[in-house]
Structure 1
């Protein structure tokens, strides 16, 4: 598979980076073609530009040409060419980091990720991605996340963004609590992340 990988954490020493690296290396060793973007290290600009703020219609070629940012054009091309998606990010305030939210604003646009015939119509998902895997880190206990907060990240990825863009299958897994975890625990989590990645993407080949 051609897998687009994204990691969104400002510290390269973060556990998010460790997870991403472990899974990517295993996927590459398994023969997958992994295209990786570290949004912070690349300095991705998350601010949507006026000329990019449109919702109805557009062809893929027109979507690539909107704006003058070659980085955004590359990201749009990369996700359009992918049939697998790996995203690793922390749970911050029940949402992805701002840089990843801005990536969604600027990359998952009409003509690339979806198409609307009218502003209030149902979307036609355009992505060829068959399988997406989202791995999160968090310090919120699972019971509180679900019972008190409603697991907003699940709503964002599993019910809003990925289905809207036509992604066929999706899995999300959370490693928690990261703060105070031992080296042994983190080692077990890394092995678990690698196993999940192998299972999710192997089953789709």
Structure 2
């Protein structure tokens, strides 16, 4: 299995980064994972701004030469792991901009004229690891699971990815946030996970 880790947090001293390290540690001990590649969106200076004009047309997004390497990474990966904070009930703008630019028609999906398109990224799986200041139940109870609906239904199911797992950790700025147990849980998962 090939695994692509997409990291979307500007600070390498953050708890999100600690989760990134545990994912890498667990994956490194997993005999089923052949190779892991890391795409650090802030570190590489990824431009999340989607532009359409006379030179950049929406119908040609899947051919944008600037994003060729990123498309190749997404196609290469059997498992895609996203690590990001939850800000204002959703992933950061950097990650949403990556999604806007990368999951283009004729790359991630193809319109068939019906209600749903043909997903072109079938057979892959996704794991979303997110942390937030608020309590863990905030997204489910107060926001009606908007985060999971956005990631699972509006994005990944739309492009053909059916296996989507979530680790949503709340109260992460609290000294009672049980950081060590949560980090260990992610490490153990990636040490044994398969596609």
Whether TM-score is above 0.5 comes out as yes
Q: 2 CA distance for matches of 1:148 and 1:91? A: 14
Bigger shift: 102-111 or 124-133? 124-133
Structure 1 SS opposite 2:164: strand
Q: 1 CA distance for matches of 2:180 and 2:81? A: 20
Q: 1 CA distance for matches of 2:109 and 2:97? A: 17
Gaps of 5+ in 2: none
Q: How many correspondences in the alignment?
A: 190
Cα 1:114–1:188 change in 2 (3 A) is same
Which 4+ residue blocks in structure 1 deviate beyond 6 angstroms? none
Q: 2 CA distance for matches of 1:142 and 1:167? A: 25
Gaps of 5+ in 1: none
- Quick one: which of 83, 89, 102 aligns to 1:107? 102
1:149-194 Cα deviation digits (max 9, x unpaired): 2122111112211101111311101112111236x92222111111
Bigger shift: 172-181 or 120-129? 120-129
Is 2:130 the counterpart of 1:125? no
Conservation of the 8 A alpha-carbon contact between 2:28 and 2:191: no
Is 2:32 the counterpart of 1:17? no
Conservation of the 8 A alpha-carbon contact between 1:82 and 1:129: no
TM-score relative to the length of structure 1: 0.84
Q: 2 CA distance for matches of 1:197 and 1:190? A: 11
Show the counterpart of 2:7: 7
State the Cα RMSD in Å: 2.0
Q: 2 CA distance for matches of 1:52 and 1:171? A: 34
Conservation of the 8 A alpha-carbon contact between 2:30 and 2:190: no
For residue 52 of structure 1, report the CA deviation from its aligned partner: 5.0
Show the counterpart of 2:27: 27
Of Structure 1 and Structure 2, the greater helix share is in 1
- Quick one: which of 157, 164, 167 aligns to 1:163? 157
- Quick one: which of 143, 166, 172 aligns to 2:166? 172
Conservation of the 8 A alpha-carbon contact between 2:85 and 2:92: yes
Higher relative contact order, structure no. (Cα contacts within 8 Å, ≥ 6 residues apart)? 2
Conservation of the 8 A alpha-carbon contact between 2:132 and 2:172: yes
